[in-house]
């Protein structure tokens, strides 16, 4: 199950799980039957087709993960269709870009907008875990992945965004304690500079000519595709010793050194090393691990 598999990192994870032969439920609000408030063209149906083309079986299910009843119905469907069990749960729900306030300090921010971001980016993860975890516990093994931005305590530029991305790391840590007796691992994972569909649009490029965006931002040269994140999660899911990672905040930069996977073009981006080399002097270290 990839909750929030419509685009970006969620799509990359869903497709790479499909490439490993998995049946993947792809959920989200953006569908061929209507767009979410993000108002982007990517859909869960498109992701599901990519999963199937990669070698798996993609199943799109339109779900608003802030609605507990919709998530409960989703869990009941998965349980009925797969003998009450689930192998992997990925919490990649985001959709917060339109409501992040990057300009103002906390004392000048709109509270309804800020709390709306937390409902969208944190409450959805809690609701999804609440209803899907019993299916992993029933299996007696498995993996829960919380997708975040950054895996250290470094401030992320604005208070509500920082709270959202830090909170899901803490959620993974807390779940790891409760799930350990059931042999289910829970981790958080961050990509580096993710070359998502939205980021490509931001630079006015496509994946074919993405390097043209380096003229606007030289750091974009060290970006990575959603495939890289997807392969990191697929490697974790296939690792019989994944419990050694449980409770940790991981990164693609760290995991490629463990599992040896590459990005779509065969490269192995390491944004953490790049930060230490090129950005730390100006912006400080990435921070202590969370």
Q: What is the mean pLDDT of residues 260-285?
A: 93
pLDDT for 286: 83
Pair of tokens at residue 143: 């993996």
Q: How far is CA 278 from the centre of its chain?
A: 26
pLDDT in tens, 49-78: 999 999 999 999 999 999 999 999 999 999
Q: What are phi and psi of 157, to 5 degrees?
A: 100, -25
Model confidence at 284, pLDDT cuts 50, 70, 90, reads confident
* Gap between the Cα atoms of 251 and 109, Å rounded: 31
Nearest alpha carbon to residue 75 among 140, 65, 97, 263: 65
Task: Please give the share of the chain, as a percent, with pLDDT higher than 90.
Answer: 92
Q: What are phi and psi of 127, to 5 degrees?
A: -60, -45
Structure letter (DSSP) for residue 135: H
Average pLDDT over residues 172-185: 98
- The answer on pLDDT for 290 being more than 80 is no
Whole-angstrom Cα Rg for the chain: 18
Question: Is the model's pLDDT at 255 over the cut of 90?
Answer: yes
Alpha helix stretches (DSSP H) within the chain: 8-19, 44-54, 68-81, 111-118, 124-139, 159-179, 197-203, 226-238, 252-259, 271-274, 280-283
Q: In angstroms, how far apart are the furthest CA atoms of the chain?
A: 54
pLDDT, averaged across the chain:
96
Q: Each residue of 116-136: pLDDT tens digit?
A: 999 999 999 999 999 999 999
pLDDT at position 287 over 90: no
Q: For the chain, which domains are there?
A: 2-283 (3.40.50.720)
For the stretch 77-123, pLDDT in tens is 999 999 999 999 999 999 899 999 999 999 999 999 999 999 999 99
**Cα–Cα distance, 1 to 271 (Å, whole number):** 28
Pull the structure tokens for residue 57: 């079986």
| Whether pLDDT at 148 is above 90 | yes
Which of 19, 64, 71, 77 has the alpha carbon at shortest distance from 37?
A: 64
Which residues touch 228 (CB under 8 Å, ≥6 apart)? 12, 191, 252, 256, 261, 262, 263, 264, 269
Residue 285: predicted pLDDT: 84
Percent with pLDDT over 70 in the chain: 100
Average pLDDT score over residue span 204-208? 97
List b or e across 83-110, with b for residues whose CB sees 16 or more CB atoms inside 10 angstroms. Answer: eebbbbbbbbbbbbeebbbeeeeeeebe
**Entry pTM:** 0.96
Q: What confidence tier does 177 reach under pLDDT thresholds 50, 70, 90?
A: very high
Looking at residue 58, what is its pLDDT?
98
Q: Which of 21-25, 29-33, 55-59, 284-288 has the lowest mean pLDDT?
A: 284-288
Predicted confidence at residue 281, as pLDDT, reads: 87
């Amino acid at each position: 199950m990839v909750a929030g598999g419509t685009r970006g990192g969620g799509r990359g994870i869903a497709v790479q799980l499909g490439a490993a032969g998995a049946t993947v439920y792809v959920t989200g609000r953006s569908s061929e039957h209507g767009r979410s408030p993000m108002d982007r063209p990517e859909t869960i149906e498109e992701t599901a087709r990519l999963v199937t083309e990669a070698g798996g079986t993609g199943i799109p299910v339109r779900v608003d993960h802030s609605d507990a009843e919709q998530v409960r119905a989703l869990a009941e469907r998965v349980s009925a269709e797969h003998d009450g069990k689930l192998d992997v749960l990925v919490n990649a729900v985001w959709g917060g870009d339109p409501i992040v306030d990057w300009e103002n300090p906390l004392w000048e921010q709109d509270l309804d907008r800020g709390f709306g971001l937390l409902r969208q980016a944190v409450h959805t993860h809690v609701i999804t875990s609440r209803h899907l975890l019993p299916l992993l516990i029933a299996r007696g093994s498995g993996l829960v992945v919380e997708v975040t931005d950054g895996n250290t305590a470094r401030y992320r530029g604005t208070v509500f965004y920082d709270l959202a991305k830090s909170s899901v790391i803490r959620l993974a840590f807390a779940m790891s304690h409760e799930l350990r007796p059931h042999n289910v691992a829970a981790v958080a994972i961050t990509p580096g500079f993710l070359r998502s569909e939205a980021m490509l649009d931001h630079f006015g490029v496509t994946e074919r000519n993405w390097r043209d965006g380096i003229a606007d931002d030289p750091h974009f040269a060290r970006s990575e595709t959603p495939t890289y994140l997807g392969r990191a999660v697929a490697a974790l899911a296939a690792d019989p010793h994944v419990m050694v990672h449980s409770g940790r905040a991981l990164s693609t930069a760290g995991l490629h050194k463990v599992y040896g996977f590459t990005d779509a073009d065969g490269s192995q981006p390491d944004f953490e090393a790049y930060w230490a080399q090129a950005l730390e002097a100006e912006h400080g270290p990435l921070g202590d691990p969370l």
